[in-house]
């Protein structure tokens, strides 16, 4: 297997310059000599929009680790694609991080578009919307998740929208009509489906931190447009129930210093946030209660809303990864990865690993981007 750096890790070379622009201080990071660790090149996909085979292997063996099987608990749905109106007319071919502008209620909004070589304007492709965190912005978030290059490698369309305000953020109220950011999402979907060849039954949402809140709200507000969601470091439920079960893949770290595992928020470490509006200096984190309030309770509620069994199964899939799965009806899967000792970070991200002094530890035993794509690939919007 090749050990040459992939396109995903290559994007990290732009990180330092980008951080200077957005004002994120990383000078306090230690123990990082800046050397790029190689990532294995993926095998070419055999069909557009198909999920990769598990990529992680135990040292010295060809057997997949338990962690590499995260996101693969149930069979993939395989109904015919639902072609968007752009199929047969779209001139767009492969682009990476192409900035585009859209008018929403008289306000100019923008997003980064990445399409794979498989986008020929004829065959419908899946779409992933990937929402940045508070103060992060779309460009820096691309370094966090590495979703744009991953999408090109695996045959789907990736879009990283930009929030608004200072610091940049998302409004997360689950009100599709009155929340301006959810109106942005719906207008964005309409435009993408008109200009590109999208499989409208395979549209997914993920996000980090504040963006995880927004992807969670999508489960409440836009269940007719999204087939599954994957909130990273911020799975939340802001409604009293779902119109239909929403499959979810969620991750949270037990020593998250910003969105605390058992509830509460601490903005002390967030670059660009006015601390006079926060609750003050950070408190020492209490020991995580894996069965307690906060994100464990949020996932229990999600499972209940999806009609799942009350008690999940639990499995250690790596030294620092605990996997919870609920027994759910078909098409309603709930998966929750607890990162023991994990911070406010994106698992597998060399970028968040490089800013550990700000966000806490990043596990490299799981590639969250890869795992969520395997999860997403199992689901389509129901026919009715």
DSSP per-residue codes, 140-177: HHHHHH-HHHHHHHHT-EEEEE--BTTTTB----S-TT
Instruction: Please write the tens of the pLDDT for every residue from 151-200.
Output: 999 999 999 999 999 999 999 999 999 999 999 999 999 999 999 999 99
Buried b (16+ CB within 10 A) or exposed e, 31-62: eeeeeeeebeebeebeebbebbebbbeeeeee
- 66 assigned to some structural domain: no
The Cα 172–Cα 219 span in angstroms is 11
**How many Å apart are CA 282 and CA 96, to the nearest integer?**
39
The predicted model gives 60-79 an average pLDDT of: 56
Contact in structure between 302 and 334 (CB atoms under 8 Å): yes
The predicted pLDDT at position 273 comes to: 52
**Looking at residue 38, what is its pLDDT?**
31
State residue 63's pLDDT score.
43
Higher-scoring residue by pLDDT: 37, 225: 225
pLDDT at 92: 84
Could you tell me the pLDDT band of residue 15, with boundaries at 50, 70 and 90? very low
Segment 234-251 shows an average pLDDT of 97
Residue 350 maps to a domain: yes
Q: Specify which of 7-21, 70-84, 140-154 reaches the highest per-range mean pLDDT.
A: 140-154
Q: Does residue 288 surpass a pLDDT of 70?
A: yes
The percent helix, strand, coil of the chain (3-state, each to 5) is 25, 20, 55
H helix runs in the chain, sequence order: 7-10, 15-22, 137-145, 147-154, 180-195, 210-221, 295-305, 350-354, 356-359, 368-376
Q: Take residue 124 and report the two structure tokens written for it.
A: 């419908």
Q: What share of the chain in percent tops pLDDT 90?
A: 72
Answer whether residue 19 is part of any domain: no
- pLDDT value of residue 120: 92
In a domain, 12, yes or no: no
Report the range of poorest mean pLDDT among 19-28, 146-155, 288-297: 19-28
Is the residue at 70 inside a domain? no
Task: Decide if 48 is inside a domain.
Answer: no
> Both tokens of residue 343?
């911070």
Is it the case that residue 62 has pLDDT exceeding 80? Answer: no
Average pLDDT, the chain: 83
Sign of the C-alpha dihedral computed for residues 131, 132, 134 and 138 taken in this order = negative
pLDDT at 279: 43
In this structure, of 40-49, 130-139, 285-294, 349-358, the range with the lowest mean pLDDT score is: 40-49
Cα angle, residue 263 at apex, residues 233 and 248 outer, rounded to 5°: 40
Q: What is the DSSP string of 267-283?
A: -TTSTT--GGGS--SPP
Average pLDDT estimate for 76-89: 89
213 pLDDT exceeds 50? yes
- From the list 109, 115, 124, 117, the residue with the least C-alpha distance to 97 is 115
Q: Which domain holds residue 199?
A: 80-275+282-376
pLDDT above 70 covers a percentage of the chain that reads 75
Q: At residue 218, does pLDDT exceed 60?
A: yes
What is the per-residue pLDDT for 39? 35
User: Which pLDDT score, from 0 to 100, does residue 40 have?
Assistant: 36
Q: What is the pTM of this model?
A: 0.82
- Res 64: pLDDT: 45
What's the pLDDT score for residue 297?
98
Confidence of residue 259 (pLDDT cuts 50, 70, 90): very high
Per-residue confidence (pLDDT) for residue 35, from 0 to 100: 31
- Residue 363: which CATH number? 3.40.50.1820
Binned at pLDDT 50, 70 and 90, residue 227 comes out as very high
pLDDT at 21: 30
Rg (CA), the chain: 19
Distance CA 47, CA 197 (A): 15
Residue 67 in domain: no
Please count the structural domains in the chain: 1
Q: Is 383 helix (H, G, I), strand (E, B) or coil?
A: coil
């Amino acid at each position: 297997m090749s050990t040459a750096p992939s396109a995903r890790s290559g994007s990290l070379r732009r990180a330092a310059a980008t951080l200077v622009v957005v004002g994120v201080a990383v000078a306090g990071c230690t123990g990082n000599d800046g050397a790029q660790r190689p990532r294995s090149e993926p095998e070419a996909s055999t069909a557009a929009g198909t999920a990769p085979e598990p990529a992680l292997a135990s040292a010295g063996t060809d057997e997949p680790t338990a962690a590499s099987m995260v996101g693969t608990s149930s069979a993939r749905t395989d109904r015919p694609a639902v072609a968007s109106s752009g199929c047969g007319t779209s001139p767009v071919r492969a682009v990476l991080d192409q900035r585009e502008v859209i008018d929403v209620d008289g306000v100019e909004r923008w997003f980064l578009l990445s399409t794979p070589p498989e986008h020929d304007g004829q065959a419908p492709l899946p779409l992933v919307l990937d929402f940045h965190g508070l103060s992060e912005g779309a460009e820096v978030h691309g370094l966090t998740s590495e979703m744009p290059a991953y999408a090109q490698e695996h045959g789907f369309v990736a879009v990283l929208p930009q929030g608004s305000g200072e610091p940049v953020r998302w409004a997360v109220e689950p009100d599709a009509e009155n929340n301006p950011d959810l109106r942005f999402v719906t207008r964005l979907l309409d435009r993408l489906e008109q200009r590109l060849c999208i499989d409208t039954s395979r549209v997914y949402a993920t996000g980090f931190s504040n963006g995880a809140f927004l992807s969670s709200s999508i489960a409440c507000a836009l269940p007719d447009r999204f087939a599954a969601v994957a909130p990273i470091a911020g799975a939340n439920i802001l409604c009293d129930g779902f119109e239909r079960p929403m499959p979810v893949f969620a991750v949270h770290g037990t020593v998250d210093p910003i969105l605390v595992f058992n509830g509460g928020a601490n903005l002390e470490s967030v670059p660009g946030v006015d601390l006079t509006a926060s609750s003050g200096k950070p408190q020492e984190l209490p020991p995580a209660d894996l069965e307690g309030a906060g994100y464990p309770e949020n996932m229990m509620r999600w499972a209940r809303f999806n009609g799942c069994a009350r008690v999940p199964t639990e499995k250690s899939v790596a030294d620092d990864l605990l996997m919870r799965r609920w027994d759910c009806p078909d098409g309603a899967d709930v998966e929750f990865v607890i990162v023991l000792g994990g911070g406010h970070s994106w698992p597998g991200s060399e970028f968040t690993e490089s800013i550990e002094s700000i966000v806490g530890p990043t596990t490299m035993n799981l590639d969250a981007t890869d795992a969520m794509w395997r999860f997403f690939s199992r689901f389509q919007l129901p026919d009715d």
